[in-house]
Structure formats: C-alpha cells, structure tokens
Copies of this chain bind each other. A is one copy, B any other.
C-alpha cells in the first residue's frame, strides 16, 4: 500500500481536461497497490481510480497492461478498464509520471479468505486465463524462471544476513528448480500477482481482479503456483491444505489441469516462492527512509520456500 506523490489540484485539473469526464468533485489518495500511487477520483461522470506509475513498472510495458485490462473487460471478465483520453490514448502524464484513469471496480478484498472465497479465487484465476486466451499482444515474463539466477546473484549476502545459511539454500533451490523446470506446459497470459489484496469479492462470489502490472506470458499453472503460496497459508505461515484444495478445485471448475500441470504444481509453487522471496529480499535491501510503504517481509517467503523444499505441497 502506497501513496508516493502529492498532486497539485491545478495539475489534476489540467490532466482531467484531456478526458471527457467533467470536473473533479473529490480526490483522495488510497492505500492500494505497492508499486504505484493510486487515488480515488470522483468526477461529474462517476468514480474512477487514477494511477500514477512510479518505479519498477516500465513505461514501455504500460500499453500492454492497459490493453490487457481493456481486453479482459470486453470478454466479460470483471476487470477495471482504462478510460480513453479525448485523443484516444489510454495513457497520459501527470506530475512527471505516466498516468491512467481506470474505472472503479467495486468489491472487497478478503484478509482471511473463507473456503468458499478460496474456491472463488481459483475460479476467478481460471476465468482470467480463459478470457485472455486470444489476447493478441505478447510480453515475456521478465520475472519468470529464467530471470531468477541473475536476480539472486547479488543477494546471497543479504540472504545470509536475514538468516545464516539462507544464501546457500537459495543457491541450491535455484539449481534444483532450473534443472527440473517444466518447459512444455500450456502457456498464456498469467496475472503473476494473484494475491488476496488483488482479488475482490462480493460476499463469497468473485467480483474482479486488479493490479495487472506483472501480467506476462508464462505457463498458466505457474500462476496457480503463485496463488497457492499467496492463498493457502495462514497469516501465521501454516499451510492450509483445505484452502489449497478449494483454490485448485475452483480453478479446475473452469479450466481442468492436465496430468502434467498437476504433477508440476509443487515445483511451480516452489519456483513461485523463490521468485517472491528474491524480489522481497531485493526490496528489503533497497528500502528507503521516509517512504510511505513498508517492504514486505522476505522471511515469510523464506518459510514458504523451506516448506516446498521439504515437499510439503501435496494436492
């Protein structure tokens, strides 16, 4: 959760002149999205989210993300969608940063998902995979398996600082995962960040997803591996096999896994745990004084990694 940038009202007014949305009636920074600044914007035409793209998200990738959201919404998937500027563009500039206005997606994130919500979260992920099937644009996953060795290289020392011996365990994980990584699973657009704060519900029903700023082409079942780490552990870090079963069952209610995908799932989840451990460790090392964002604890994902290393995930 983060709001990084103060926006002058005059700058906002000028930015809004590029949109057919009328004047601003209300504008509040919201604690949503780790990488960007988000604001709830109410205009004479309704409610919207204004997003300023800060670090990490590369400006060159933004048209892909916005086009994907638009595509998904057109396929009937409940995604917020970018509002087009008067000149047709989805992207503008505000406070020196790329900026977009997105429709407001109602729904509540689940801080402690119930079993029906787990099922709905799995179902929503499969729905996303199917809805994006014919999306014509391509984006390589720059945080996919082939990137992890380079990501890990400068972090061995930091890992050992966090917990003695963790650097060596991490190097071993990297090698084991690289050797066994499946190359022939069904691929498509993955969300790549299917965490509870990015999934909205209305009651127990799936109501939509946000934050597509890691979406890319990769193995679809890898996305389910990411989700298993994010959903099937309690706040205390204990594996919840009932939650995992519901998540997978919900997924398969829309898109059944092949035998290969199911067999690969423990390894995919182990790789996903390594990926989030690595980026959290990097963020932890680079945390800034005075920032309004708390880096997420890398130890949470070190524990997931250790769980998978010992073959904990049985589905």
Contacts and interface: CB of A to CB of B under 8 A. Distances in A.
Interface of A: 1, 3, 6-10, 12, 23-32, 40, 42, 104, 106-112, 200, 202-203, 290, 292-294
A107 B108 CA distance: 25
The copy count of this chain in the complex is 2
A10 B114 CA distance: 10
Given A12-B108, A290-B294, 6 more contacts: A1-B292, A7-B111, A25-B106, A26-B107, A28-B30, A30-B31
A105 to B, nearest CB: 8
A303 B294 CA distance: 31
A295 to B, nearest CB: 10
A108 B24 contact: yes
A66 B52 CA distance: 35
Nearest to A293: B292
Contacts of A7: 111
A92 B63 CA distance: 45
A290 B296 CA distance: 11
Contacts of A109: 9, 27
24 contacts: A1-B3, A8-B111, A8-B112, A9-B108, A9-B109, A9-B110, A9-B112, A10-B112, A12-B108, A23-B203, A24-B108, A25-B108, A25-B202, A26-B104, A26-B106, A26-B107, A27-B108, A28-B31, A30-B30, A30-B31, A42-B106, A292-B292, A292-B293, A292-B294
A111 B9 contact: yes
A230 to B, nearest CB: 16
Contacts of A23: 203
Nearest to A39: B31
Closest 8 CB pairs of A and B: A29-B31, A8-B111, A3-B31, A26-B106, A28-B30, A25-B106, A9-B111, A9-B110
Nearest to A109: B9
A209 to B, nearest CB: 14
Contacts of A9: 108-112
Contacts of A107: 25-26
Nearest to A7: B111
A169 B12 CA distance: 41
A249 to B, nearest CB: 22
A28 B107 CA distance: 10
Given A111-B7, A112-B9, A294-B290, A29 B42 contact: no
Contacts of A30: 28-31, 40
A23 B119 CA distance: 21
A99 B29 CA distance: 21
Contacts of A42: 106
